[in-house]
Structure 1
Amino acid sequence: MYKDTIDTLQRLFMQENMNETFQNLAALEAPKRNCALVYLKLILLPTVAYLYFLLGFLGILHFKVGIHSVVLIGFIYIVSLIFAKHNGEFGVCTFRRYSKEFQTELHEYISKNLMPIGGQMKSNASFENFIDTYAKGIRNDNYASVAASIFPTMGILGTFISIALTLPDFSSQSAGALENEISLLLSGVGTAFYVSIYGILLSLWWIFFEKRGLSRFDRDVALIQNSTAALFWTKEEIEQAYLQENLQNFERIGKMFERLSSNDFFERLGKSIETKFGLFDEMLTLEAMAVKRGAEHIKEGMEALSRSQDRQRDLAVIHEDILTKLSLFNESTTSLHVKLMHSNEAMLKTNEELLRTLKETQQSDTAANDEVESLKESLKIIDAETEEIIQKMDALK
């Protein structure tokens, strides 16, 4: 937590230094120029020279230029218009025009590569690598590297093409015709050299502004590098910072060895070891007691489990006895019910016989009516009791 706080404070301090540095850079910025005017300046001489040759071809000026020379010079002129945007003069103008964007990218580049060393935080990146990468985005170095040689080369090639086009076949037999062909050859050669002159002129023009622009660019870059030098680690600073840290580490190691070599340290170390061994023995004793108590609890649990199993077996035997007795009771009640049914049937048959006998004797013996009525009542009571007994036996069944 303390280290994170220090890193945060260092980053804030670094941001303040960067903001102050970029404010100083903004104050040192050169006045900006219009890059369109720079481009017009770069193509001014090529345009004037081409118009000069074009006026000679049209006969406005008093010198002779062939159509092939005008065409070849015009081709070189078009190439110069394309290459002008990649000249050092135009590049430094573009660099100064987008100085704010350059400062923003430089700020991001420094912030991404911050590295704390010895209580300070700077960028562990190379300013030269950044400026080289940034310069490649301003212009195409391939065009800039070949432009100085391509213009005279194209001029010489155009000269040979012009000579080839105007070269007569020298097939005349008379001296007058031959002199005429030689004069045509010399006049064609004279105009052919105009292409080479134009190419060499453009090369010199390009080199002048290229070197001038590069010198301005190098001066601006040197000014920026000197202003931002405090934001970048140099090789010497890194070596010095690491040397200081190593010396501090050696000092701490020396102090540590001094503490280790003192008698107090060994005494404290011995006491600490004894204390730790005592705690270790105490832990072993407590662990043994815990294991013993655990074994006793397990034994008691096994005994309780055994007793519960015995009780479960006794309950199973009792349950079997109850089932056996219930079965015997059901059998006895069933047999009793059967016997009662048989006795009931016998009683019904007896009652029927008595009724039939009473009916037979009713007519003959009128004196005994009262006894018969009482006998009927008795039979009805017996029937009701018999039905009640049968219902009770059915309920028990």
Structure 2
Amino acid sequence: MSDKISLLPLELILHILSYLPFESLLAFGETSRANYESHTLCLKRLRLGVFEKRIHSVIALLQAGWTTPDQMAQISGLDKLKSDYTISIIQPALNPLVSDVTGKHLPKIKDLKRRGPVILEKSRTLEQMTREQNKIFAQVVNRYGRGLRELEFMAYDLDSEGAMALAAGCQNILHHLALRFEHPHIREGPIRPTTWLNPAPGSTAWNLLIGIGRYRQLGLCGLQTLILERAGITPWQLTMLVKKNPKLTVLKLRTCRGAQPEFLNWLGGTAQDPDEPRTAGNGLAPGHKLKVLWLENCHALLPHPVEDHLKLPDQVCDFGLEWVRGLTSLESLSFCESSSISPEYVDRANKILWKIPEVIPPYSCHGDKAPIEVDPGLL
């Protein structure tokens, strides 16, 4: 005899499953082959963070706005929106007798619900931790990628395994992607505090998201929102990724290697794309659909320093930032913490030329932010 739920239309089954907590959803998927297929399609929005210690997860979730201090006190019972899951995974302690490089100790999907403080007996290197984070990320995306509309991932970096899962499993359906690799509160073991001040090293893993060479059948092409924090993506890779997602309206870059004049001039149409020359009469810049552009903690935005900007004539008072003029749909532009540009320079250019409703000047807000207090019992 078949269970009653399997007799329902798939749309109704997915609607019912969207109200289950993640632990119950995993349990349901293990009851039968049909139920496994159903449960892999019901996740629409997922926030996934993988860390070594619970305290790292607590602060990261608070800083990203994924949860509030009150919710953090009862993290296992968080209220959620329909099909919206926030999952924090804490890596198990290393076994000092067996090397973790083999990957044999990675948790299975059914163990991803595990939460709680873990005291490591031995610190992983940054490369080892990144590799294990991406293994877990790949496991989750390979299972649930077919149904995801919004995905956010917090870790130390993206590698080829994680990028491959993302490029193969979320090609057309994913609309919102946030990759958050900046965690200044993590300052122990092999990780130096300066690690988070600069973008991650460049990597060919980003080519998988673009879909080039032998991976032309892969790549992301349905994004409407892209958020990259401490990303090692190069200006060329970022150009190709934005070009592949013509519906993009929100682009937020923080501590991003790709935020350089080479990319920005292309985005604003001041540098012509040699691969796709614009036809006569089409004066629209590639980024003309963007409504939100944030370039935060990015210090290579200007091709040359503009020291005496007050002496510039009004018609060229945005010297070095002319690309902004091509972003005709912009409603919000942020240069927060991008210290290579003065606030007065941006303010004058916006009042005279750009006239964007919201412009956040490049002030440093480190001194304005109150430190996050954490209960010592969580350490």
- Per the shorter chain, which TM-score range? under 0.3
The TM-score normalised by the length of structure 1 is 0.16
Greater gyration radius: 1
Structure with the higher helix share, 1 or 2: 1
The TM-score normalised by the length of structure 2 is 0.17
Structure of greater relative contact order (alpha carbons < 8 Å, 6+ residues apart): 1
Structure with the higher strand share, 1 or 2: 2
